Amino acid sequence: MSFLSNFTASFPGERPPFIPPYSQFNLHSLPPISSRPTIRISPPFQIGVGRSSRYSRKRSACMTLINERLGRDRDIADPSSILAYELVQGKLVKWSSMVVLNRSIPEPPTAVLLHGILGSRKNWGSFVRRLALEFPTWQFVLVDLRCHGDSASIKKRGPHTVASTALDVLKLIAQLRITPRVLIGHSFGGKVVLSMVEQAAKPLPRPVRAWVLDATPGKVRAGQDGEDHPRKLISFLRKLPKEVSSKRDIVNALIQEGFSKDVAQWVVTNLRPTGAASSSSSSFSWVFDLEGISEMYESYEETNLWKVVENLPRGVHVNFLKAERSLHRWALEDLQRIHAAEESAADEGGGVEMHVLEDAGHWVHADNPDGLFRILSFSFKGVKA
C-alpha cells in the first residue's frame, strides 16, 4: 500500500479532478520517491504513517504559486519533508501506488482533516476510524500542522501564519498526488481550510466541501472570563521548562493557574519521554514548537477571510459549525454575514451553510462525537470512487 495518489487520475463519466492551480504536474517527469513510509495494516481499515518524501532539488515540475508573497519559484517540497501525516483507508479502498501507472484504477474519494492550535493529528484518530468504518470507500489524511506533533521537528521558515500553514498542506496534497473531496478543519485548522480555498481559488471541476468547525472567518473573539483561552495557555506554557520530570506536576500547575482539568490533561499528551524506552529516566519534553505556535495563534486571531466566504469560487461549498457552548463567542454580525453569504453563494454556484452542534463546547469531536458524526456524514454519502 502506498500513500501516493494520482493527481490527474480521471473517473469514469466525470471530468478531470481538481488540480491545485499553483501546481500543474507533468507526471512523466516526476522524480522517483526516495523513501516509502512504514505501513501497518489493521482491519477493517488500513493505516499508514509517514512524512511526505523528498523531491529532487531539480525542477522537474512546472508550477505557479497563487500566493506569490509566500514564495515565488519554490520547489514543491524543500529538501526535508513537508509535513507529518497519517493515512486511514476504508476496507474497500483498493488504491495503491500502481494507480500512477494504471489509470483504470480510480483514486478513492479523499478527506483531509486538520487539528487546532496545540493539537495534533491524533486528535482526529478515533473519529476518523469511525468514519472509515462507516464509509469504507473513502480514505482520510490526518495532518500534523507546522510546529505541531511530528511536524515540529521539520524546520519551517517564517512567518508562521494561517496562510503559510495552508500552503504547507497544499504542497503536501500536491506531493501525495491526491484530490480531496472534503476538507475539515477545527478551530485554527478551520481558518487554514479557508486559506487553502483562497490560495487555490478557481472554479472546480467537481464539488469540494470545506468544513470550518467552531471558527469564524474574521477576527477571533475571546471567550467569557474563566474559560480556557489559547493565548493565555500558550503564554503559560512558554514559561515552563522545555524538559519536565512529571506530567502530573504540569497538570497540577495548569489547574492551579485556572485552566480546566480536561485541558490540562489534554496539554500533557504533547509530552514525550526524552530517554530510550528501556531507560529508567522519567523526564519528558514538549513535542511542539511554542515560539512558532505563538506566532501562528496571533495570525489566527487577526486573519480575516470574510472575502473568501463572500466570494467563493464555483464548486466550493463551505460549511460552518458552531458549538452550542463554544468558548469563542459568535457575534450576531458573524451569523448574519454567514446567512447573507449563503444566499449569494447559491446564486454564484458555490455554497455556504451554517450548522449548530448541540451539547458541545469548543472541543466538538470530544464533547459530542455522535452529533458531529451525524452532521459531517452527509459529505461522505453518495460519493463513488
What are 278-293's pLDDT values in tens digits?
A: 555 679 999 999 999 9
- The confidence band for 331, taking pLDDT boundaries of 50, 70 and 90, is confident
Q: What was the pLDDT predicted at 15?
A: 37
- Whether residue 338 is predicted with pLDDT greater than 70 in this model: the reply is yes
Question: What mean pLDDT do residues 348-364 have?
Answer: 85
Instruction: Report yes or no: 155 and 80 within 8 Å, Cβ to Cβ.
Output: yes
Most confident of 41-45, 140-144, 364-368: 140-144
Whether the bond into 44 is cis, omega within 30 of 0: yes
Residue 160: pLDDT over 60? yes
Question: In the chain, what are the domain boundaries?
Answer: 85-219+295-380, 230-290
Which of 21-35, 171-185, 300-314, 340-354 is predicted least confidently? 21-35
Q: According to the model, what pLDDT value does residue 106 have?
A: 79
Which of 152-166, 240-254, 279-293 has the lowest average pLDDT? 279-293
- Is residue 191 within 8 A of residue 185, CB to CB? The reply is yes
pLDDT of residue 101: 52
Q: What is the pTM of this model?
A: 0.78
Query: Quick one: which of 146, 169, 170, 144 has its CA closest to 158?
Result: 146
d(CA 59, CA 382): 39
Q: What is the pLDDT of residues 267-276, one digit of tens each?
A: 999 999 987 6
Residues 248 and 268: their CA atoms lie apart, in Å, by 9
- 3-class DSSP state of 232: helix
Residue 61 to residues 7, 35, 58, 251, Cα–Cα distance (Å): 13, 19, 9, 48
Question: Mean pLDDT highest for which of 6-15, 69-78, 209-218, 334-343?
Answer: 209-218
**Model pLDDT, residue 223:** 55
CATH architecture of 85-219+295-380: 3-Layer(aba) Sandwich (3.40)
With 70 as the cut, is the pLDDT of residue 70 above it?
A: no
Closest CA to 31 of 175, 161, 145, 147: 175
